Structure 1
Amino acid sequence: MRPREDAMMTSIVQRIARQALVTFRSLPGLGAQAAKCFAENHDKLHGLMSEVRAADLKLAPPAAPPPRGAPPVTYMHICETEHFSMGVFLLKSGACIPLHDHPGMHGLLRVMYGKVRISCYDRLESSSPPPGGALRRCLPRSRGEYTQDSEPCLLAPERDNLHQIDAVDGPAAFVDILAPPYDPDDGRDCHYYRVLPEAELGDPQSREVWLMEISQPVSFWCGTEPYPGPEVRL
């Protein structure tokens, strides 16, 4: 089989996973060449993520409301290696994935159906946090609504790393890639936060805010569902 024919027969999900492995197997090092190589591979991954559609993963909006007591969010596992994880999050109408972080991680999020609002923050260094608990000085970075026609939402270790995701006007689903995956034993645990509007810093024109680390909100929990799409092999 010729390479072009093989590429045409390979699912877009498989090609995304392979590109994610190439991209994140060697995260950017100290040299300019390593950074250039990472950027080129990341651009290829971004392009593939921009192509994937709900039908490629055999996803469709739910035909009926979820049963009473169903989790607000469910997760479909696609694949995971030591370098990245890939899966699908399904949000009920009105559901919210609370403000949380991704320590030292890159990410790409691509909506498959519905609409989500994503509010992102950048962590800032602080030498003298105010009293009252685990606080982080942050800068609101971006806030936007994403649909299946939108480009992927990107996050990096130093940019848009903390975010909240809200389903808007109905249920929604998105493909999610995180690199490296969460791993509490390696310092990559998920932490939740709430914004302290009364803790604005500096003059009234300052956009900086304080976020307080909190326990996982009781209104949020995540169930699981089987992934119905093409198998991924790495």
Structure 2
Amino acid sequence: MMPGDSTMTSILRSLMTEVRAADLKLVPRRAEDSAPRPPQYRHGEPPVTYMHICETDRFSMGVFLLKSGASIPLHDHPGMHGVLKVLYGKVRISCFDRLERHVGGIQAAPQLPPAQMGALRRSVLRSSAEYTEESGPCVLSPDRDNLHQIDAVDGPTAFMDILAPPYDPDDGRDCHYYRVLTEAELKPAEPKEQEVWLMEISQPQHFWCGGEPYPGPEVHL
């Protein structure tokens, strides 16, 4: 997938639609083996793990596995394109777009201490929808659906993830986390876009990502 190349994005979207867990030699996890954990304690098994498949300076490819009740908090992909395809289970993906980088003098901004005002981001909730292995992929771009939150629904789940270019803090592509300050119901089938205020935060303490071996076929670049 090349940034700005709609033909390549369309081809990749079509190919990703056909991917199944068996193609990557993944065995769906059982709910009893993926029980919810108390969110306030950061110990034991991580709520999310990652299987690295491959990475170049142009893209990264891997699989995220979420335990029952786990979430990947609201985060961004600065200057990046992405494609996400569920392999088993169900996820809810809530997508946001940032409308302005800084608050400026907007009257509707929440009243916060001056030191926190610079962390506010005026954004819009574009969609909140559920995806399964039968769904097409979720696609993001630098300007559309770039911020999103991913929640496991009704049990453990896994999805394949491709980002182009990959995260690289040295090149200005670091991951930032956010929380919603204004009322926004992150549930499926919301017909209207909703403007919200987001605050940039540190990585939430209840979230961290472990690693595990990728069992699938080798990728030759």
- Code of the residue aligned with 1:172 in structure 2: it is T
1:109 aligns to 2:84 (yes or no): yes
* Residue 178 in structure 1 maps to residue 146 in structure 2: no
The CA distance in 2 between the partners of 1:56 and 1:101, in whole Å, is 29
- 1:195-210 to 2 correspondence within 5 Å? 195-197=180-182, 207-210=194-197
Give the 3 Å change call, closer, same or farther, for CA 127–99 of structure 1 in structure 2: closer
Cα distance in 1, alignment partners of residues 142 and 7 from structure 2 = 18
- Amino acid of the structure 2 residue aligned with 1:208: E
Contact 2:125 2:193 in 1 (8 A): no
User: SS where residue 40 of structure 1 aligns?
Assistant: helix
For the aligned residue pairs, the C-alpha RMSD in angstroms reads 1.9
- Identical aligned pairs, as a percentage? 71
When normalised by structure 1's length, the TM-score is 0.79
Distance 1:55 1:198, change over 3 A: closer
2:198 is aligned to 211
Letter in 1 for 2:33: P
User: Compared with structure 1, are the counterparts of its residues 198 and 44 closer, same or farther at alpha carbon in structure 2 (3 Å cutoff)?
Assistant: closer
Distance 1:180 1:89 in 2: 18
Q: Give how far 1:39 is off.
A: 1.1
Partner of 2:41: none
Q: TM-score, normalised by structure 2?
A: 0.84
The structure 2 residue matched to 1:61, chosen from 28, 35, 46, is 28
Shift of 1:219: 0.4
Higher mean alpha-carbon deviation, 218-227 vs 133-142, is at: 133-142
Given the alignment of the two structures, is residue 231 of structure 1 paired with residue 206 of structure 2, yes or no? no
The 1:198/1:118 distance shift into structure 2, 3 A limit, reads closer
Distance 1:80 1:209, change over 3 A: same
Q: Are 2:98 and 1:123 equivalent residues in the alignment?
A: yes
Unaligned runs of 5+ in 2: 38-43, 185-191
Q: Which residue number corresponds to residue 33 of structure 1?
A: none
8 A Cα contact 2:103 2:122, kept in partner: no
Distance, in Å, in 2 between the alignment partners of 1:206 and 1:59 is: 36
1:161 aligns with 2:129: no
Q: 1:116 to 1:206 in 2, by over 3 A?
A: closer
Amino acid of the residue matched to residue 193 of structure 1? Answer: Y
Distance 1:206 1:232 in 2: 39
Structure 1 runs (4+) greater than 2 angstroms displaced = 129-133
Which sections of structure 1, spanning at least 5 residues, go unmatched?
1-22, 29-37, 200-204
Cα distance between partner residues in 1 of 2:141 and 2:133: 22
User: Which one has a bigger Cα radius of gyration?
Assistant: 1
What is the Cα deviation at residue 127 of structure 1?
5.3
Q: CA deviation at 1:113?
A: 0.2
1:14 corresponds to? none
CA distance in 2: counterparts of 1:120 and 1:41, whole angstroms: 22
Give the paired residue count: 196
Query: Could you tell me which residue of structure 2 aligns to residue 6 of structure 1?
Result: none
Relative contact order, CA 8 A, sep 6+: which one is greater? 2
Higher share in helix:
1
**Cα distance, 1:112–1:198 mapped onto 2, change above 3 Å:** closer
Equivalent in the alignment of 1:10: none
1:33-112 aligned within 5 A: 38-63=5-30, 64-66=32-34, 69-112=44-87
CA deviations on 1:92-145 (whole Å, 9 max, x unpaired) are 000000000000100000000000000000010255164424111101001100
